[in-house]
Structure formats: structure tokens, C-alpha cells
Amino acid sequence: MKYNDKPFNSGLGAVFQYDSRDVPVNAWGGAFVEISATFSGSYLGGRNNYQVYDFDIRKYFQIKRPGKTIAIQLRGRFGYNDIPYGEMSQVGTPFDLRGYTWGRFRDNSMLFAITEYRHMFMKKNGEVSPHGAVVWTGAGSVGTAAKDFSGWLPCFGLGYRLTVQPRMNLRVDYGFGTESHGFYFNFNEAF
């Protein structure tokens, strides 16, 4: 069955991670890099034999003062062999290409890039205000393999931020995609 509705997966993997962000949930500076490989198969008792290679690269640039940040993310996830439906790669989630229905674009592999400008307003006394705004643009694609990426999906949007604890924001975003749009309400930044 191609999309097993009750899969049992077991596997092993390795993860390399580097993190120099000042605050992981709302970085104003630093970088994050994660590279992983997982191998699932019947040799470990699972029902599906597949491999997933994943990378996530993020960089944050503070511009002139605290609270003005450019955030950039490049992410790829490449799956091979008998990948169950629930383990497939997807774009169009509240954490990447906001503006598409979550789960609509799913396949063995995905790749996307997104850039976001985050602006926290200033109080008259020179302190960072609890209110802010965000704009972003990005594009991504899914495919059976990396060579199959086509039909790139652009997105852009804007959002409002309200600091509810130091450096922890309530996030309200509205994203636009190709013949699609979405409203998002969450805590912390998308990436």
C-alpha cells in the first residue's frame, strides 16, 4: 500500500547542530544550522524502508538597533524510497511558506527559502515597544526527488507582533500564495 494509513516506522539517525542565536524563539542576531540524516527500515522492525536527509540554515541580522532584524531561512528535506504519507516533506505550514493550506503541497522532497523583516517599534523613552510588525517573502517547491522541483510556490505576507514576555511574541500573520491565502495566530516567530 503506497500511503499506509497505519505505518510502524523505526529508524536511526544523526544530527549536527550549530546555534549562535541570542534568543532561539526570537533571534535578533546569530545563526542556526542543522543537518540530519535518518534511516528507517524493516531491519529495525519498521514496515517502511526509507531515508531522509534534512538541512535547515537560518541567519539573523540586527539592523542599527535592537528589534530591527532581517531573518533568512534556507531549508531542504530530501526523502528516498518507501516514505509513508505522514513522513513526507511539505511546504505551506505556519512555519515556512505562510499563505498556503497546511498539507496541500506534500511529496518526498521539498526546498524553500524565505526572508523576513521584523520591526519592533520604539517607545518615546527609547526602549523597545511591545508592538511590532513583520513582512516576508519566499518561495518553495516539492517533488519526488530534488531534480523534480517545479511549480515554485511564491509567498508574501505581513504580520503583527505583541510581546507577552521578554523576547516572546504573540504572532498574528496573514500570508498570500498563488490563488491562496491564510491567517495564522501563534506564539514565537515562524523561524
| 3 pLDDT more than 80 | no
Nearest to 120 by CA among 94, 156, 157, 159: 159
Domain ranges of the chain: 11-187
Res. 2 pLDDT band, cuts 50 70 90: low
Within the chain, strands assigned E span 11-19, 30-40, 50-62, 68-81, 89-91, 105-107, 109-122, 128-143, 153-165, 168-177, 180-187
pLDDT for 139-148, tens place per residue?
A: 999 998 767 7
Strand, helix or coil for residue 147: helix
pLDDT at position 157 is 97
Q: Encode pLDDT of 84-121 as tens digits.
A: 888 999 999 999 999 999 989 999 999 999 999 999 99
Are residues 112 and 78 in contact, defined by beta-carbon separation less than 8 angstroms?
no
Query: What pTM does this model have?
Result: 0.90
Calpha distance 89→103 (Å, rounded) = 9
| CATH code for the structural domain at 11-187 | 2.40.160.50
Question: Residues 1, 36, 173, 68: what is their CA dihedral angle, to the nearest 10 degrees?
Answer: -170
| Residue 6 pLDDT > 70 | no
φ and ψ at residue 26, rounded to 5 degrees: -160, 70
32 near 19, Cβ under 8 Å? yes
